Amino acid sequence: MQLLALYKVFENKKLLNIKIEKHNMRISKRGQVSDQFNWLFVVIAGGVILLFFFFVIVQIQAAGEAKLHAVVLGNMDAILTGSQVSPNTLNRIESSETLRFDISCDDFGSVMSVPKTQSQVDISRKIVFAPGIIGSNQIYVYVKPIEKPMYVDNVIYLTDTRTFFLVMGGNSTSNLQLNSLYLQIPDGIPKAGGPIIEDRLRAYNTIVIVNASGPLDTLTWNHFGEGILRRKNANWITVNASGVYMATKTDRQSEFGTSELVGIADQAFQVMFSKNKKFFECTQGKINERTKVVAKVYERRSEQLAARYISGNPCQFQLNLAKDRFGDIVNKITNDQNYTAEITNLRNINNELILLTCPTAY
């Protein structure tokens, strides 16, 4: 009996130990779950906070860049406006940082933009020619007036120290047209009128080559073949009696595209400062639009002035003639026709008005 009692006590104690062990194990598991939850919580919350700050920093950086681009473009636009009203001047804009922007022109207007960004400023009020993307810390702004024969507007020619103008034979008088083009490029803008100096070309991003008859001469082709021009943006312009032809090449292309007729020989200078045919035609369209509007204003002015004189007065007669010629210019531009004869005619009428001491037509 005693033995049996002892055995039962022993059995109960064993059972108790097992129970205590099980209880301890349960407590330990709960602790483990709580610790795991805490870690998971910290990792997720920390990750979310980190992502949030990362997002905020990226947004702030993007906003800062956009603001900087807007300020730079706004200031550039103001500089161009200032230059626009000062014809026959060459301004050099210097910056400690490289300025990069592109000028584009389409049916909706012209914009100046920072490449690969959304930043842009409307420059439809200006007539701007640029031979490619401007990317330098020194930019040239050359302003020339357009007279048809009346003063129409000032055209802005934009280039930089990374663009080189190579007028083949421009420094000799054997071809007067090329010589005139070479001389029209103001001193200060990188240019050469003779053969290529290899080392000079290496330093430039964009090369504008002008010659009298295609194809390019052997010397140029050799340099092209050796790779001097291969990694560059280049425009090849041919100027002769039948007009101005243009072929373009970007640094990814190994050769020039088809040479196309883009305009008359008188437009060669504007073609030299155009990145492609489409850009030239669009900007030329803006010049025509300006000419048309100015001619319309002068037509109305001549009519008003003529009405102030008594019938038969020579001033009235000449002013009425001027009014008709301005009207012809408006109509011819509308119908995309040549108006060279009207220009000559108007010049003569204006000279006649000066001789008669009448108010001039333009």
Residues near another protein (CB under 8 A): 34, 37-38, 41, 45, 49, 52, 56, 63, 67, 70-71, 74, 77-78, 81-82, 84-85, 109, 122, 124-125, 149-153, 289, 293-294, 296-298, 300-301, 304-305, 308, 350, 354, 359-360, 362
| Pair 164, 200: CB distance under 8 Å | yes
Measured from the CB atom, the residue of 168 and 299 that comes closer to another protein is 299
Q: How far is the CB of 126 from another protein (least distance, A)?
A: 9
Q: How far is the CB of 149 from another protein (least distance, A)?
A: 7
344-346-350-353 Cα dihedral, nearest 10 degrees: 120
Distance (Å, whole) CA 327 – CA 339: 11
Beta bridge partners of 207: 164, 234
Q: How far is the CB of 56 from another protein (least distance, A)?
A: 7
Pairing of strands 233-240, 243-249: antiparallel
DSSP letters, 61-117, are HHHHHHHHHHHHHHHHHHHHHHHHTS-SEEEEEEEEEEEEEEEEEETTEEEEE-TTS
Measured from the CB atom, the residue of 4 and 85 that comes closer to another protein is 85
Measured from the CB atom, the residue of 249 and 332 that comes closer to another protein is 332
Q: How far apart are the first and last CA of the chain?
A: 141
Distance (Å, whole) CA 114 – CA 133: 9
Please give the helix or strand (H or E) that residue 236 lies within, else none: strand 233-240
Q: How far is the CB of 45 from another protein (least distance, A)?
A: 6
Measured from the CB atom, the residue of 68 and 219 that comes closer to another protein is 68
Measured from the CB atom, the residue of 7 and 151 that comes closer to another protein is 151
Q: How far is the CB of 324 from another protein (least distance, A)?
A: 16
- Whether omega for the bond prior to residue 115 falls within 30 degrees of 0, making it cis, is no
Measured from the CB atom, the residue of 70 and 183 that comes closer to another protein is 70
Measured from the CB atom, the residue of 68 and 341 that comes closer to another protein is 68
Distances (CA, A) of 96 to 51, 128, 317: 35, 24, 59
DSSP letters, 253-265, are -SS----EEEE-G
Q: How far is the CB of 262 from another protein (least distance, A)?
A: 25
- Nearest Cα residue to 186 out of 272, 114, 246, 127: 272
Distance (Å, whole) CA 245 – CA 58: 47
Q: How far is the CB of 110 from another protein (least distance, A)?
A: 10
Q: How far is the CB of 122 from another protein (least distance, A)?
A: 7
| Pair 123, 83: CB distance under 8 Å | no
Measured from the CB atom, the residue of 71 and 341 that comes closer to another protein is 71
